[in-house]
């Protein structure tokens, strides 16, 4: 494995499962020391054990300003200066304009959007003297209308907007901090699996997101496919990539699901 991240320190939120777990493992394989955070303590400690020496797990409510302050201080004190931040933690709640409750709307914005605002702000503050890379996990729903996930799409559109504005601010301020977003289509994770019912006969569960007549080869992204793009953005190979929306969607743009 290419050691593009040798000597780097990375923080991955939502690292106990799914994309966060695969991202943490990929960054570690490329040489980074990795800190993961999550509310899932059992899962987080298990992933930290898989990561090996130098890894650290911290319990973290990503929508809490106080928690972000504690996490950033703890990372600095126990591991040193941060080089890479992956704002990955998020939730998925279904609902269209008639069915989504205000409670669920607020929860989606809090966990998916407030967390990225807080994390990006904390990351810029931690990295602006030395430089670094912030990667925010968004979604194709940032720009592709998906009527059954209205609140989720709105929260991920906010992630994209935060990313673009923060990248521009860093460029104008002369900070060597790059801020980019990654936009997968549906990712086959435990969160996605839990949101879908059983597949019709002859259709694999990971193909449920797609109209099989229009898109017979459609399938959800795998977590490792997203992690490989995150690793690129974290590395010096992407040193000229800033404010970009990296689509990991196998050509869904213009086609829909």
In a domain, 49, yes or no: yes
Active-site choice (149, 152, 175, 210): 152
Q: Residue 131's closest CA among 254, 242, 231, 45?
A: 242
Q: How confident is the model at residue 187 (pLDDT cuts 50, 70, 90)?
A: low
pTM: 0.89
Q: Which domain holds residue 228?
A: 9-185+221-246
Number of domains observed in the structure of the chain:
1
In a domain, 139, yes or no: yes
What is the pLDDT at residue 203? 45
Residue 6, SS3 per DSSP? coil
What is the pLDDT at residue 254? 58
Among 16-20, 76-80, 182-186, which is the least confidently predicted range? 182-186
14-56 pLDDT, tens per residue?
Answer: 999 999 999 999 999 999 999 999 999 999 999 999 999 889 9
In a domain, 211, yes or no: no
Among 158-167, 190-199, 232-241, which is the least confidently predicted range? 190-199
CB atoms within 10 A of CB 169: 15
**Overall size of the chain counted in residues:** 257
In a domain, 252, yes or no: no
Q: How confident is the model at residue 106 (pLDDT cuts 50, 70, 90)?
A: very high
What is the pLDDT at residue 222? 79
In a domain, 2, yes or no: no
In a domain, 78, yes or no: yes
What tokens does 180 get?
């980019």
In a domain, 216, yes or no: no
Q: Residue 251's closest CA among 166, 108, 155, 140?
A: 140
CATH number of the domain at 176, please: 3.40.50.720
In a domain, 215, yes or no: no
Residue 152 designated active-site: yes
Q: Residue 4's closest CA among 231, 227, 178, 230?
A: 231
Dist CA 15 CA 234 (whole Å): 16
Task: Give one DSSP letter per residue of 150-185, joined into a string.
Answer: HHHHHHHHHHHHHHHHHHHHHHHHT--EEEEEEEES
What is the b/e burial string over 17-54, where b = at least 16 CB atoms within 10 angstroms of the residue's CB?
bbbbbbbbbbbbebebbbbbbbebeebbbebbeebeee
* Beta strand 9-13 pairing with 84-87: parallel
126-174 pLDDT, tens per residue?
Answer: 999 999 999 999 999 999 888 999 999 999 999 999 999 999 999 999 9
Query: Are 188 and 222 in contact, with CB atoms under 8 Å apart?
Result: yes
């Amino acid at each position: 494995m290419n050691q593009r991240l040798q000597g780097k320190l990375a923080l991955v939120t939502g690292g106990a499962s799914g994309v966060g777990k695969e991202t943490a493992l990929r960054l570690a394989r490329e040489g980074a020391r990795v800190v993961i955070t999550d509310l899932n303590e059992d899962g987080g400690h298990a992933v930290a054990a898989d990561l090996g020496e130098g890894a650290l797990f911290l319990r973290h409510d990503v929508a809490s300003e106080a928690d972000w302050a504690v996490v950033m201080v703890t990372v600095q004190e126990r591991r040193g200066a941060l080089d890479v931040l992956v704002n990955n933690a998020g939730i998925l709640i279904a609902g269209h304009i008639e069915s989504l409750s205000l409670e669920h709307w607020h929860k989606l914005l809090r966990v998916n959007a407030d967390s990225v605002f807080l994390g990006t702000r904390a990351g810029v503050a931690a990295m602006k003297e030395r430089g670094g890379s912030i990667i925010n996990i968004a979604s194709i729903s940032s720009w592709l209308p998906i009527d059954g996930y209205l609140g989720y799409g709105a929260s991920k559109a906010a992630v994209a907007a935060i990313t673009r504005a923060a990248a521009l601010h860093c460029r104008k301020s002369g900070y060597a901090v790059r801020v980019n977003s990654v936009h997968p289509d549906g990712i086959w994770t435990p969160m996605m699996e839990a949101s879908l019912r059983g597949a019709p006969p002859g259709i694999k569960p990971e193909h449920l997101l797609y109209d099989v007549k229009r898109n017979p080869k459609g399938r959800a992204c795998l977590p490792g496919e997203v992690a490989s793009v995150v690793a690129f953005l974290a590395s010096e190979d992407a040193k000229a990539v800033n404010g970009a929306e990296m689509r990991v969607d196998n050509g869904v743009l213009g086609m829909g699901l």
